[in-house]
Copies of this chain bind each other. A is one copy, B any other.
Amino acid sequence: MLRWQRGLPEALHRRAAAASKASSSRTAAGDKATSGGTFTAAFRLPRLSTSTAAASTSASASPSPPTPAGAGQPTPRATTANNNTSSPHGLSSFGGLNPVQRAMASGEPLPRVLSVQSHVVHGYVGNKCAVFPLQVLGLEVDPIYSVQFSNHTGYPLFKGAVFDGEQLRALAAGLEANKLLNHTHLLTGYIGSLSLLEAIADLCAVMKSHSPHLTYVCDPVLGDEGRLYVARELADAYAAHIMPLASVLVPNQFEAETLTGGGAIGSVEAALEACDKLHARGPHTVVITSMSLPSDPDTITLVASTRQPQDAGGRLGGATAMCMRIDRIKAYFTGTGDLFAALLLAWMHHHPGDLALAVEKAVGGLQAVLAETVRHCGAAALVAERTAEVCALRELRLIQCQGQLQDPPIKYRCSPLERRQDGAAAAAAGVGPAAGAAGEVQGQGQEQLAPV
C-alpha cells in the first residue's frame, strides 16, 4: 500500500470495543429477512415470457465537436437542442464529448444517488446493474446493499446473506451523523421485506428534510405477467407509503395495474389513464416500461407521462405524454429493469425538461447492452433450461458496453400523445395510430435482431 492513510484498519482493530448490536430474525409474515444470516436455496425461477429488442447502430449523425476539457468556464448541462439526433455508438464516439463528458468537464458538483438494491458477487442484477452505469454517466453513487448473494437467484443455487431494515437504518444514521445524507437522488428497486420498505420510507423522509429537491426514482418491483413476486402487504405498502414519496415511478404493466387497483391496461389510452392515477398518488413522472398490448403482440409498448413542464425545444416540443414501440424478441435476461431505471435516472438528470430524450437514451443504452449480450450468448439466449452455464452466458455485458452507455445509439423514438380533456389520452394527430395500438416509431428502421 502507499503511505497515504487508509481508514479501516484502526477501526476494525478497535471494533471489539465498539458496541455491537445483535442481529434479529423476524418471522412476521411478509418480513422474512434473516438478518445477517447465510442460507442456500435451490430452485428455478418460472419461465417468463421475456421480451427484448436490440438496436443496431443507427444512421449517420455525426458526433458533436469536442469541447476542450477543463476549459475555464463551466459548461452548462447538455441542452436538448444539440442532442436530438441519434449518434453512432461505440468507441469511435469518443471523438466528441457527449453530455456526460461535458458535464464532468464542467467542474460542477456531480449529482449523488443513494441506491438501495441487492448485491451479487457474480453477474448483474440490482446494484450491480445500477452502480456502474450511473458512475460512467457521471453520477456519484452511494450504494446500500440489501443482500449479498453469490449470484442472482435464477441460477440453480445461490448463497449469501439478507440484510434487513435495521441495518439500513444503522447505515442511514451513520450517514446522517456525518452530514452525508445530502443526496440529489434516491433509487430503489426490489425490496424484499416490509421491514426494509418501511425503513426506506423513513429514510426518504429524512433525506427530503436535508434535500428538499430530492428526486426519488422508484422501481416498484411487485411482479410480472399477472403474478405477484412479493407479499400482498408489500404491494399495499407501496401504494400507501412509497408512492406519495416517489418522484419517478417505473412500473411494468402488471405493477401499474396492481398499483392502480387491478384493472387491466390493454391500450395506450388505458396506460395514460393509469399514469394519471399514479400521478395522483405522488410521482410527477411515470414510465410504464413494458406493456404487451393485445393489438400488437410483437411489440413492447412504453408509455411515459410527466407533470413537470417540458422544454418547448425538446424532442417532442413540450409534450408531457409519449409512447414508444420496441420490437419484441424472445430472450431471457436478468437485471434489465434495474439497468433501465438507473439509465432513466441518469438521462433525466442530463436532460431535464426532455423526458422523451431521456427515455430514448435509456432505452438506447439498454438495447445496446442487450444486443451485445445476445451476440455473446448465442443460442443460450433462448434456452429455457436455466443451467449455471446458460445463466452465466446471459449476464448483461455492461463493462463491454460502457462506451454505448455513455453515448447510446438511438433506434427507437418516442411519439407524443395528446391528453384528452377528460384526463385520458389520445395519440397525437399525425403520428399516432388508431386508439388501442401503440404510437408509431419515428424515423428509425425496425430491424429485428436475430437472437442467435
Bound-complex Cα distance A149 to B6 (A): 14
Binds B, one of A132-140, A425-433, A442-450: A132-140
Is the Cβ of A3 less than 8 Å from the Cβ of B300?
yes
Q: Across the interface, name the chain B residue whose C-beta is closest to A391.
A: B178
Bound-complex Cα distance A366 to B289 (A): 40
Size range of the interface on A?
A: 35 or more
Interface 1/0s, chain A 157-182, versus B by CB < 8 A?
11111110011001111110111100
Write the nearest CB–CB distance from A160 to chain B, whole angstroms: 6
Write the nearest CB–CB distance from A397 to chain B, whole angstroms: 9
Write the nearest CB–CB distance from A434 to chain B, whole angstroms: 23
A221 within 8 A of B: yes
Interface 1/0s, chain A 384-413, versus B by CB < 8 A?
000011011000000110110000000000
Which among B45, B180, B399 is the interface contact of A110 at CB below 8 angstroms? B399
Q: Across the interface, name the chain B residue whose C-beta is closest to A156.
A: B178
Write the nearest CB–CB distance from A331 to chain B, whole angstroms: 8
A10 within 8 A of B: yes
A360 within 8 A of B: no
Q: Across the interface, name the chain B residue whose C-beta is closest to A338.
A: B6
Q: Across the interface, name the chain B residue whose C-beta is closest to A404.
A: B69
Is the Cβ of B334 less than 8 Å from the Cβ of A250?
no
A61 within 8 A of B: no
Interface 1/0s, chain A 1-35, versus B by CB < 8 A?
11111111111111111111111010100001111
Is the Cβ of A333 less than 8 Å from the Cβ of B8?
no
Write the nearest CB–CB distance from A99 to chain B, whole angstroms: 12
Is the Cβ of B1 less than 8 Å from the Cβ of A221?
yes
Q: Which residues of B contact A74 (CB under 8 A)?
A: none
Q: Which residues of B contact A46 (CB under 8 A)?
A: 10
Is the Cβ of B152 less than 8 Å from the Cβ of A171?
no
Is the Cβ of B158 less than 8 Å from the Cβ of A144?
no
Bound-complex Cα distance A125 to B4 (A): 12
Which among B159, B171, B289, B334 is the interface contact of A159 at CB below 8 angstroms? B171
Bound-complex Cα distance A54 to B40 (A): 48
A97 within 8 A of B: yes
A216 within 8 A of B: no
Q: Which residues of B contact A6 (CB under 8 A)?
A: 125, 152, 190, 221, 334-338
Is the Cβ of A110 less than 8 Å from the Cβ of B400?
yes
A155 within 8 A of B: yes
Is the Cβ of A153 less than 8 Å from the Cβ of B7?
yes
Binds B, one of A116-124, A258-266, A303-311, A351-359: A116-124
A230 within 8 A of B: yes
Is the Cβ of B229 less than 8 Å from the Cβ of A9?
yes
Q: Which residues of B contact A38 (CB under 8 A)?
A: 20-21, 23, 166-167, 170
Q: Across the interface, name the chain B residue whose C-beta is closest to A97.
A: B91
On whether A12 and B43 interact (CB within 8 A), knowing A2-B290, A119-B145, the answer reads no
On whether A159 and B179 interact (CB within 8 A), knowing A16-B32, A34-B15, A36-B23, the answer reads no
A292 within 8 A of B: yes
Is the Cβ of A7 less than 8 Å from the Cβ of B154?
yes
Q: Would you list the 7 A-B pairs with minimal beta carbon distance, nearest first?
A: A36-B36, A150-B174, A1-B337, A11-B153, A94-B94, A9-B229, A159-B174
Can you list 21 A-B pairs with a CB-CB distance of less than 8 A? A1-B219, A1-B221, A1-B289, A2-B252, A3-B224, A3-B252, A4-B331, A6-B190, A7-B334, A9-B223, A12-B192, A13-B230, A21-B39, A66-B91, A94-B101, A104-B403, A110-B400, A139-B399, A145-B148, A148-B167, A150-B180
The interface of chain A, by Cβ under 8 A from chain B, is 1-23, 25, 27, 32-41, 43, 45-46, 48-52, 66-70, 90-92, 94-97, 101, 104-105, 110, 114, 118-119, 121-123, 125-126, 132, 135-136, 138-140, 142-145, 147-163, 166-167, 170-175, 177-180, 189-190, 192-193, 219, 221, 223-225, 229-231, 250-253, 255, 289-290, 292, 300, 331-338, 340-341, 366, 388-389, 391-392, 399-400, 402-403
